[in-house]
Structure formats: C-alpha cells, structure tokens
Amino acid sequence: MKILVAVKRVVDYNVKIRVKSDNTGVDIANVKMSMNPFDEIAVEEAVRLKEAGIATEIVVVSAGTTQCQETLRTALAIGADRAILVEADAELQPLAVAKILKALVEKEQAQIVILGKQAIDDDSNQTGQMLASLLDVPQATFASKVVVADGKVSVTREVDGGLETISLVLPAVITTDLRLNEPRYVTLPNIMKSKKKTLEITKPEDLGVDIAPRLKTIKVEEPPKRSAGVMVADVAALVDKLKNEAKVI
C-alpha cells in the first residue's frame, strides 16, 4: 500500500506574525519557516502505518518555492521514503494545490492520502475536501485515530458533539487533527540519511495543472488591540456596566 502525504512550508508557529506596511500580506523576510504542524502529524501517522507493516511506501509532496525542499527533507528524516516538489513561485490557493495533488495521486496510484486538516498560515481547511471531491473518493476529516484493515480504513473524527467513527473504502483522503499522534523528534542520523533519499522536482505545467489564482486578497490587517480590563467594586457595579456600557444584558 502506498501513502501520499502533503506537507506545506509555513511561518513557524512560535514566530509573532508581522503585517507588511502596505497591508498586502504577511512579512516573511528573515522569518523562521517550518513544516505546518498538522502536516507533521500526517507524516508521523504515515510512518507509523509503515512501521506496523500496513504501508509499503510513503511519498511526501509539497508545492511552492525551492525552499520547500527543506520541509520535504524534514519529512524524509521523520521516515518518508521519497519526496516530490512541485515548484511554483506564484501564489498557490487551495484549489490549485488540490489539483496538483490529484495529478500526483493518479500518477503514484496512492491508496491513502493524508493531509493536515489546515495550514496555520491561511487556515483555509479546504484542500483535503477539494482533493477528495476531485478524486471522487471517500474522505475523513479531523482524524484523531486511524485504523487500516481489510482494504478499509476506520477513522475516529473529532466533531462538535464529541467523537464520530466512520469506515471508508480505499482509496481515501484523510485530514489530521492535533490529537491523532505526537510527531517524533528528528534525530541527526536520520537528517543525514534523508539527504540520500530521492527528491524529485517537477512543475505544475508538467502535471497539466492550471494554478492561476481565482481569489484576490484586497487587504491584510492586524486585529484591533484589546482594551484593558476594568476592576469593579461589587456585583451591582458589574451588572450596571454589563447593562449600560457593554449592553450585553
């Protein structure tokens, strides 16, 4: 069984985001970049399935600039077998990424596709669902547990009311939630081994995919700063402020 995992290079989650002075986007100059945390969970889950003898090969895919090779090498160090970079300098929106992944899934004949449920930069939470629709295969989003057996995959999902378990016939698309697993620490020996693994570079046009943006960002702004809290003398004063100032009661 072959598993394809999509990973994205994003601003590291520990970095405080700065908006550009012209409000055209986020400033990423000289900013630490890393693998999207949800995608790291997706890679870890694929590696665990291989270690359990269920998967035979793990292919990691990223779409973006040349620097995405660093992210792919990290995925290879975690345990993926080989990597594919779809190199593109243009902005890649969720539908374009889904089309790229569809072309690669069909080329690689992957039985399971695992993605993070969303990227922490745009928070779109769309690519996995779009990919499943384009491929016309079952999907399970927000996975907190994955069990593969007898040509099917049982996925426990995190939903508003608690947990939901569904069974999918392969091939299928799965998106990961935070509680699915805890990614392993990448050791130096594995980082060195990853440099010897295959990393193929291709272009969207080689896959026959149109990546032209369909959405336009008008303006990016920081959220308004929160005002300081106010201390009140007693419950009566609190009720008065809630009623007359905040007007919430």
* Cα gap 109→57, rounded to integer Å: 11
Per-residue pLDDT tens listing for the chain (249 residues): 999 999 999 999 888 888 888 888 888 888 899 999 999 999 999 999 999 999 999 999 999 999 999 999 999 999 999 999 999 988 899 999 999 999 999 999 999 999 999 999 889 999 999 999 999 999 999 999 999 988 899 999 988 888 999 999 999 999 999 999 999 999 999 999 999 999 999 999 999 999 988 888 888 888 888 888 888 889 999 999 889 888 888
Domain range summary for the chain, segments of one domain joined by +? 2-222
DSSP state of 53: T
Residue 111 tokens, joined: 């039985």
Spatial CB neighbours of 2, under 8 Å, sequence gap ≥ 6:
55, 56, 57, 58, 59, 108, 109, 110, 111, 112
Nearest-5° Cα angle at 50, 163 to 134? 60
Residue 22 tokens, joined: 């012209």
Element (H, E) at 134: helix 127-135
Element (H, E) at 200: strand 199-202
Model pLDDT, residue 119: 93
What are the Cα distances from residue 11, in Å, to 42, 91, 101, 109, 115?
Answer: 18, 15, 22, 31, 18
CB 100 within 8 A of CB 207: yes
CB 173 within 8 A of CB 135: yes
Model pLDDT, residue 135: 96
Model pLDDT, residue 221: 86
* Cα gap 246→146, rounded to integer Å: 46
Q: What is the CB neighbour count within 10 angstroms for residue 226?
A: 6
For the domain bounded by 2-222, which CATH number is listed? Answer: 3.40.50.620
Report residue 14 CA to chain centroid gap: 17
Spatial CB neighbours of 183, under 8 Å, sequence gap ≥ 6:
40, 41, 43, 44, 78
Model pLDDT, residue 27: 84
